[in-house]
Chains A and B, each alone.
Chain A
Amino acid sequence: MTDTATPTSSADSPRRGPSRWRRALAFVRNTWRGLRSMRTALVLLFLLALAALPGALLPQRQLNAAATAEYIAEHGWWGRLLDRLQFFDVYSSVWFSAIYLLLMVSLVGCLLPRTLEYLRAMRAGPVLTPKNLGRLPHHVRAESDAAPAEIVASARKRLRGWRLVERAEAHGVRTISAEKGYLRETGNLMFHFGMLGLIVAFGLGAMYSYEGQVIVHADGQEFCNSGAYAYDSFDPGLRVDGTELNRFCVRVNDFEADYTDAGQPIAYEADLEYQSGEDLDEGTWRPYHLEVNEPLRTAGDRVYLLGHGYAPTFTVTYPDGDVRTKTIQWRPTDQTTLLSEGATKFDPPGVTDPEKRRENQLAITGLFAPTASFRGEILSSSFPELTDPAVAVDVMRGELGVEAGRSVSIFEIDRSLVDSGRLERVARENLRLGEELTLDDGTTISFDGVREWVSLQGSHDPTQGWVLGFALAMFLGLGASLAIKRRRFWMRITPAREDDDLRRTVVEMGGLARTDQAGYGEEFTAITGDLLHRGLEDGKAR
């Protein structure tokens, strides 16, 4: 880990000039050295932070495709330019990926030599005592009546837990080199390797994971994770084709939401049964209480409770006595009152002629309110709970376009068919629960009941455990590398000599913090104080 890029020397280039091969090699080597330098890492860190920023400021396609499209439309050429430059897909953009790949290369370049150095340092002992301890940032020089051996003995005791080497110099001079805080480097390496692992696991996770959303009625309806088609929407990673999913099934028996009097939600709970693995063959169902923050974990996957809403039940009685009943989910347009909109669609019964059939399809569209409140004829909802439901419906007759191969949302009708006159409004009315309306041809439509639905998300990510493991390694390593100080301590003990004017033992001690200097002073003071005084007391005890 060098602070600066090593300057390359060209002094040794021979007369005939470097071959192209050699120049290429030098280029690679210099690039590698440059990438390994700390300054490059710093610049890359900054670029990464900068590159991540647009993702917080601009709408992102992956999070909100609708908002993204709207933004682009509103901003004309500027929006299109940003789109071209991948500003709406920042985290999968070429430039973002390039920066973090470079950072990873730089990281590996830092880690390899550093690891080797670390292994070497772990085997080698503390370094020799410097000639001139007075040059060190922490230094004490004292005279004592104690004999050198006593001082060495008490130092050995005081420096327990330090890595220690005693050496002898000429003229009976003894030295001690001590070092502590090797764990700092261990922590630092653990942190950086953890980060490397995290990035790799994160990348793999994006390729091998998927998410799917599905709406299930809370009246015993079942959902099985049998393939992408089982979901209403499915978002797979690059390497997921949506066929071989982990098998599990979920049956939703009940859903309950609790609110404060002000309509603020307090709790969402769904009662489930589920089966996976052997249970599938044996037909065993196990109960689970699904809540926000408490996903169902089964078969290595997770099932989340994302949202809920209402599905009104309509019964259509045709003039010939045929009866059809349907309960289709409508979607909330207002999350606080759960006023919902939707379209419940009917095919005429017993009609085989496709032409005729297409002219007589029915769609009941409009608004649903769990707690109705009318202002004049306008329906709105005053509370999200189901206390006094009502619908305000437009009944449309004609061609719904469901066979045309066009994908029509189940919550809507195809507006273009209305505009072209192929779908016509034949009634508009407000209905409370149990009320009915009659169309011009004698068909009656009644609003018979309301069911609740939940929207579930099935999520699969095989790398999650790895990511967590690496993140923990990072965190622990970070703690160790920031909390532990690597520090050195040296002593030189010169015995009294008759022939000199050295009549007492001279003790010299020096200290050096390998990392941040602040804070070592206190410890150094404590150690030297202890040594000088303990040495003295030991001496007296004799």
Chain B
Amino acid sequence: MAAAGGSTGSGTDPSSVTVLSAKGMTGTVADPPHGARTRAERAGRMGVALIVLGALLHLSALVLRGLATDRAPWGNMYEYIMAICLVTVVAWLVMLRRYPIRHLSAFMLLPVVILMFVGGTMLYAVAAPVQPALQSYWLVIHVAAAAISSGVFLVPGVASLLYLFRAAHERDPAKFARFGPRLPALDVLDRVAYRTTVLAFPIFTFGVLCGAVWAEAAWGRFWGWDPKETVAFIAWVVYAAYLHSRATAGWRGTRAAAINVVGFVVTVFNLFFINLVTVGLHSYAGVG
């Protein structure tokens, strides 16, 4: 993306302004001329078109669920997972426009497919109203913020995991010898992870905050270390640590990526373990 060094002609009237040298400038990523597109390039574009189609179908499924239940379509685990996955895919499509990472789509879609499979087969719930505690506009705001941030957090989770593979390969080329070289450069992966985390973190913070305000109205206290609250707190602290680590000498790069992966694990843990295994006030999964 950065045209380093060298002189580039610029401007409409070279007799008046002549650019002698430039670096760190950003132009658009040039597409190869039409005829020169390789077969891989064409297949890649078709793949992205398929993802877009899938996302549109996914969106209509969510909208229909909303119409069928006459409420926000994220009132139980099945619906919530569906919403998260849609967010992930949309976030990924946005990142695709900015970074040369199209060939990583399969890695990104893998957790999405797994989640959708688990949601559709094991956690399916028929359309129904939600219990009184959930009948609040906070369901719309708090859960939407949680779903959006969790969905976006999946992207840096995968990007950071790939970062760890690539970094291991660069340290020792014998490791992941076939897989490593196909991954984008470390700084691209780092930037993808950072950009998405920085987007998701404030939304997550907002979601936790709204959750506390809702809890004050619904449960009589704004914070009570309910298991779900606790794990949200842990995830928040981990992502805060990630942001700090990028500003700390010796923690940039691999360690930061590892922290982000931990954040991802905590997020998934919060989704499954807390809803399905422990019992707390948040056990609204609507499963079983």
Contact = CB atoms under 8 A, between A and B. Distances in A.
A38 B244 CA distance: 8
A291 B132 contact: yes
Contacts of B201: 478, 482
A293 B136 contact: yes
Contact of B248 (A39, A57, A134, A474): A39
A264 interface: yes
A355 interface: no
Contacts of B138: 293
A479 B10 contact: no
B234 A521 contact: no
B241 A521 contact: no
A142 B19 contact: yes
B284 interface: no
A380 interface: no
Interface string A3-26: 110000000000000000000000
A535 B218 CA distance: 62
A52 interface: yes
B135 A267 contact: yes
B225 A60 contact: yes
A473 to B, nearest CB: 11
A536 B212 CA distance: 57
A536 B16 CA distance: 7
Given A140-B21, A267-B135, A525-B25, A202 B194 contact: no
Interface stretch (A71-79, A382-390, A459-467): A459-467
Contacts of B230: 52-53, 55-56
A49 B234 contact: yes
Contact of A138 (B24, B135, B224): B24
Given A142-B18, A304-B220, A511 B24 contact: yes
A295 B217 contact: yes
Nearest to A136: B24
A145 interface: yes
B60 interface: no
Given A511-B24, A536-B17, A529 B244 contact: no
Contact of B245 (A42, A91, A459): A42
B250 interface: yes
A294 interface: yes
Interface string B1-36: 110000000111101111111111111000000000
B278 interface: yes
Given A143-B17, A475-B206, A518-B194, A39 B250 contact: yes
Nearest to B274: A56
B178 to A, nearest CB: 29
A214 to B, nearest CB: 13
B148 to A, nearest CB: 15
Contacts of A472: 209
B284 to A, nearest CB: 12
B16 A144 contact: yes
A442 interface: no
B237 A536 contact: no
B225 A3 contact: no
A137 B27 CA distance: 15
A294 B250 contact: no
B221 interface: yes
Nearest to B238: A49
B195 A518 contact: yes
B128 interface: yes
B266 to A, nearest CB: 8
Contacts of B13: 536
Nearest to B13: A536
Contacts of B245: 42
Given A42-B248, A139-B22, A266-B132, A532 B17 contact: yes
A63 interface: yes
A62 B225 contact: yes
A257 B20 CA distance: 78
A11 to B, nearest CB: 24
A141 B132 contact: no
A267 B233 CA distance: 31
Given A3-B248, A42-B248, A139-B24, A482 B202 contact: yes
B210 to A, nearest CB: 10
A63 B224 CA distance: 8
A457 B216 CA distance: 12
B222 interface: yes
A292 interface: yes
B191 interface: yes
A142 B17 CA distance: 7
B132 A265 contact: yes
Interface string B184-212: 00000001001100100110011001001
B26 A525 contact: yes
Nearest to A103: B237
B241 A140 contact: no
Nearest to B235: A49
A319 interface: no
Interface string B41-82: 000000000000000000000000000000000000000000
B223 interface: yes
B227 A56 contact: yes
A539 B195 contact: no
Interface in A265-302: 265-268, 291-295, 302
B114 interface: no
B24 to A, nearest CB: 3
A350 to B, nearest CB: 44
A53 B234 CA distance: 7
Nearest to B277: A57
Contact of A63 (B21, B220, B226, B244): B226
Contacts of B11: 532-533, 536
A522 B27 CA distance: 8
Contact of B209 (A41, A136, A267, A471): A471
Contacts of A457: 220
B251 A42 contact: yes
Contacts of A146: 16
A3 B248 CA distance: 6
A521 B17 contact: no
A268 B131 CA distance: 10
Contacts of B198: 482, 516
Which 8 residue pairs spanning A and B have beta carbons closest together? A138-B24, A521-B26, A56-B230, A49-B237, A45-B241, A3-B249, A56-B227, A292-B132
19 contacts: A3-B247, A3-B249, A46-B237, A48-B237, A55-B225, A266-B132, A293-B132, A295-B217, A464-B222, A475-B209, A478-B201, A482-B201, A483-B202, A524-B26, A525-B25, A532-B17, A533-B11, A533-B17, A539-B16
Interface of B: 1-2, 10-13, 15-27, 128-129, 131-133, 135-136, 138, 191, 194-195, 198, 201-202, 205-206, 209, 212-214, 216-227, 230-231, 233-234, 237-238, 240-241, 244-245, 247-251, 266, 274, 278, 280
Given A134-B21, A479-B202, 8 more contacts: A42-B251, A143-B20, A144-B16, A145-B15, A267-B135, A475-B205, A482-B198, A524-B24
